[in-house]
Chains A and B, each alone.
Chain A
Amino acid sequence: MRIDPSRGLRAPLAVAAIGLALWPSVFSSAYDLRLFTLAGVYVLLVLGYQFIFGHVGALSLTQGAFFGLGAYASAILAVRGGWSFSETFVLSIAIAVALAALIAIPVLGLESHYFALATLGIAQVLLLVCREWAPLTGGVNGISGVPGIVLFGRAVPGGSPSLILVWSLVVIGAAVAWRIQRGLYGLAFHVVRSAPAAAGTIGLDSGRMRLAAFLLSAAYAGAAGALFVRVNGIVSPDVLEFPVMVTCLAMTVIGGATRVAGAFAGAFLLVYLPEWFRPLDKYYLIAYGAGLLVMIVAAPDGLLGAAARLRQRLMPETDVAPEPERLPRPEVPVTAPLIFRDVVKSFGGVKALQGVSFEVRRGEIVGLIGPNGSGKTTLINIATGLETCDGGAVLYGNQVLTGRAPFAIARLGIARTFQNICLAGELSALDNVAVARSLDPGVDIETARAQAMHLLETLGAANFAMSQVRALPHGVQRRIELARALAVQPQFVLLDEPAAGLSEREQADLAGQIKTLRTRGLAVLLIEHNMPFLAGLADRLICLHEGRVIGQGSPDEVRRNPRVIAAYLGEPQRVPA
């Protein structure tokens, strides 16, 4: 729907930014300035959390701990070591990042709630350590008397000066976050989050991206902690307690987990809301809870998400598709074949593949057929690194593919599509394809989009380029997957049931496009049940049954093969239409 997340919101956001900038000059009591400064600190914390929670989609529960660690590091260094603000600021970031790097090794590979629990455990242990290690941390009393900010030898007094300093850092932090998110890297995060299986197959190293996001979130939290302790003059174990983490999470979700402006909205609202309700005495936190509930029900994907939708409804605006641009000719195609050699795989006690061997050569279309559960998809998963085999190997020429990560295999020029379509549903068709251009170091986001447009055009999906993928029909989504696979500029394309759910006309189009690939020298391996479709397309067919090859050859040979008929095709008159 939208290419740029803030597109269409530029004018309202500009007004909001001016309003925000004028706010402290209108509300200028020490109290107002303090709240505004605190809100800035939380903006930094949330901007960081957006990387790991919003972009990667991992429920990290250590963001509060990084924040507290940054605060403690600054307090300890300033009070016990007499270090200056700029030194402690940098060190707070460094220490938070160092802890993140240390814990990333064991926990970053964990999934969903297991990752959340592991990070929660680390945060709780850090809390206990800060409470108990009194000689260093001041124990439960914490450390008070942390001097205010001194910069270039001059004290920055509370009120406006420190507000300006904190908000300058917030603006820098927001600009950095925005830079990171707006390019291809930002698109890549969408794929890592919403289509993780696909990320590797277009060459994205999602492990490294998770790590980068985790370290970035820690860096922002460390910076926020360093400022927090200077603004308050005291640090106590409260900063490490769970409620701080909960507040950060709520701010991120309320504002919008993947938008820079969302961090501002979330932090600002959650700092001010309890203050506005304060006159309600002991009922004010009930009102605050009710306020949170109303906000999240009204805007489940954050205030910024709701604002974008509202804008779209009031002033619908279709995005203009970019001018298509041909992809650069790849270097001379490699002529090596893709070789499956004695591939063995079992799941639990079930033997999915029992020694499968065959080759796919350049300029060839090979169809892989067989009954459900015969191991076809498993074979492609092994070839693309999504699964490992128990025995045998897959080779590309003389390079062994098995054991390599999916992104490494994709970078060799082996691309694929999925039986269960695996696209980032919230992105446009164009962006789903453009993101697969990020392997080419010389390509920026504009070029990538233009080239993606070209691919969509050749596949007859140009009309859908600017639509959100989630809303598109099945057949179009299949074509987008194919376009994405081609954007990798592969030598080999592995297609998993590309014709499923397509109309006959669409099937004919698809067959034509696959033949074009062959003429360009690519090799295609496709899994299909649709025999008429394959008959006119494939040079060779390979039939799997119970994890073994039971027949191969030209489509006619295979169709007459009695073992294939017995296991898969049945009597000739019962050929699936």
Chain B
Amino acid sequence: MRAVIFCAALAALGMATPLAAAEVSIPVLVPITGFLSLEGTSQRNGAMLAIRNAPAGLNVRADVADTGTAPDVAVNALERALGRDAPTAIVASMLGTQVLAMLPIALEHKVPLLTVSGTASVTEKGNPYVFRFFPGDAITKVAHVRYAAEILKAKRLALIAQTTEYGQSGRAAIEAIAAKLGLEIVYEESVDVQLRDLSPVLGKVRAAKPDVLLLHLHAGPTALAIRQAAAMNLDIPIVAGSALHQPTTAALLEPAELRGVCAETNASPVSGGSPEMERFLQQYREQFKSEPDGYALGQYDGVMMALQAAAQGAATPAALTAALSSGTYRGLAMTYKSDGKGNMAHSAIIVCYDGRSRVPTVAKRYDDIDGVLAR
């Protein structure tokens, strides 16, 4: 598989000759404690697997450091890494406020950040050193809303979002897209991550009589909402955010509770689909004794693109930044290319559960979404 990717990358980058062994350092600064540590651990695993599969002749150092959940801790970790590792690139937390805090420092030190943050504003600061290998909210939410409108034929939407920055960034995108598509949002509420009983919110959703319920919640609350919806026979089609595609989220629910529920994501590694994906899946399971999710795959692809570029000679931060800005890379989840602002991913998929298994199937693929929300 390494060979396959390698060749693909060679073709994509338009490079012909591998250069001599190069040293690169890619510190992994992600939340491995706190409320985002599930996603942060996926990021880390994806990055570490990519580094393990690094192209021959590349000598990669990768220290992992926790960023917790506060911006200042992320900046501490970044300054520390900059001081001791002379990094070629940095795997940066998927938490938007943390990336926003890291951006000016990356700019100052001219080091590219590789992240899978979905927060829209991350790539809207005109900073040339951020590369996002996960479709941002401007892209996934297009798939999210279009699926509800085009496939489920919804005119009236309900939306439950989280009060975190993840939730609010997605909420804003959904509102904009729904307006653009002429859909009505008949009920909308934002809830705290720690809220235990979602049935009052779901009751109000039911009273508003929407055609489809959109969820944009973190993993635990997504599972809670789906379970409580099933328990009260809500009987409204649900399209959830990317948290649901994480195998650990689906594991919380009975297959029957998941029947007919769909979710947006960049990719669903556990659903397989290609020999390369199966190989990734097997390696990941062996290495980390857990199931990979789309964040792990996105981070894997991102680090792999950087490593391929480095193997082709772009082993300095400046060269790597240039290569990431201009190159195209066919990764496992999709083909990545910068839109000029650092958005590398432009595809999203919708996966659905059939009620018999916790492994979803890909229901619809949306490629080349421009991610322009304004009307």
Contacts and interface: CB of A to CB of B under 8 A. Distances in A.
Nearest to A280: B66
A34 B76 contact: yes
Contact of B97 (A34, A228, A234, A243): A234
A18 to B, nearest CB: 25
B126 to A, nearest CB: 11
Contacts of B75: 34, 232
A165 B84 CA distance: 26
A219 B37 CA distance: 35
A551 to B, nearest CB: 67
B164 A140 contact: yes
Interface in A224-241: 228, 231-234, 236, 238-239
Given A141-B169, A232-B71, A282 B32 contact: yes
Interface in B15-48: 32-33, 37
A281 B32 contact: yes
A35 B76 contact: yes
Interface string B134-174: 00000000000000000000000000000111011100000
Contacts of B79: 29-31, 34
A141 B119 contact: yes
Contact of B82 (A30, A38, A243, A278): A30
A236 B75 CA distance: 14
B217 to A, nearest CB: 14
A29 B119 CA distance: 31
A29 B78 CA distance: 12
Contacts of B70: 236, 238-239, 243
A243 B167 CA distance: 21
Interface residues of B, number: 33
A560 B70 CA distance: 79
B72 interface: yes
Nearest to A141: B165
A231 B79 CA distance: 13
Nearest to B100: A144
Contacts of A142: 71, 97, 100, 165
B32 to A, nearest CB: 5
B69 interface: yes
- Between A131, A142, A238, A281, the greatest number of chain B beta carbons within 10 A of the residue's beta carbon is seen for A238
B101 interface: yes
Interface in B89-112: 96-97, 100-101, 103-104
B71 A141 contact: no
Interface in A28-73: 29-32, 34-35, 38
Contacts of A30: 79, 82-83
A82 interface: no
B80 interface: yes
A460 B37 CA distance: 67
A189 B121 CA distance: 49
A238 B69 contact: yes
Interface string A125-156: 00000010010000111101100000000000
Contact of A140 (B37, B64, B167): B167
A233 B104 contact: yes
Contact of B80 (A31, A134, A145, A228): A31
Nearest to B164: A140
B71 A236 contact: yes
Contacts, number: 87
A74 to B, nearest CB: 15
B76 A275 contact: yes
Given A234-B97, A236-B165, A284 B66 contact: yes
Interface string A233-263: 1101011000100000000000000000000
A239 to B, nearest CB: 8
Contact of B66 (A34, A134, A278): A278
Contact of A141 (B32, B64, B121): B121
Contact of A281 (B64, B71, B167): B64
B364 interface: no
Contacts of A285: 33, 66
A278 B78 CA distance: 13
Contacts of A144: 97, 100-101, 103, 121, 125
Contacts of B77: 278
A38 B101 contact: no
A292 B79 CA distance: 25
A29 B76 contact: no
A140 B168 contact: yes
A282 B41 CA distance: 10
B169 to A, nearest CB: 7
B62 interface: no
A423 B99 CA distance: 55
A159 to B, nearest CB: 10
A139 B71 contact: no
Contacts of B96: 141
A140 B33 contact: no
Nearest to A244: B70
Interface in A111-131: 131
Nearest to A27: B83
B318 interface: no
A238 B76 contact: no
B208 interface: no
Contact of B65 (A32, A131, A140, A278): A278
B100 A228 contact: no
A29 B86 CA distance: 12
- Between A29, A32, A34, A236, the greatest number of chain B beta carbons within 10 A of the residue's beta carbon is seen for A236
A37 to B, nearest CB: 11
Contacts of A131: 163
B33 A233 contact: no
A131 B125 CA distance: 21
A123 to B, nearest CB: 16
Contacts of A243: 70
A234 B100 contact: yes
Nearest to A139: B168
Nearest to A233: B104
Contacts of A145: 104, 125
A243 B121 CA distance: 26
A282 B37 CA distance: 10
A32 B76 CA distance: 9
B97 A282 contact: no
A232 B65 CA distance: 19
B241 to A, nearest CB: 15
9 contacts: A140-B165, A141-B168, A144-B103, A145-B104, A145-B125, A234-B101, A238-B71, A281-B64, A282-B33
Interface of B: 32-33, 37, 64-66, 69-72, 75-77, 79-80, 82-84, 96-97, 100-101, 103-104, 119, 121, 125, 163-165, 167-169
Q: Please name the 7 residue pairs, one residue from A and one from B, whose CB atoms are nearest each other, closest first.
A: A29-B83, A31-B79, A140-B165, A31-B83, A144-B100, A236-B97, A238-B70
Given A278-B66, A278-B77, 5 more contacts: A134-B168, A145-B125, A228-B72, A232-B71, A285-B33
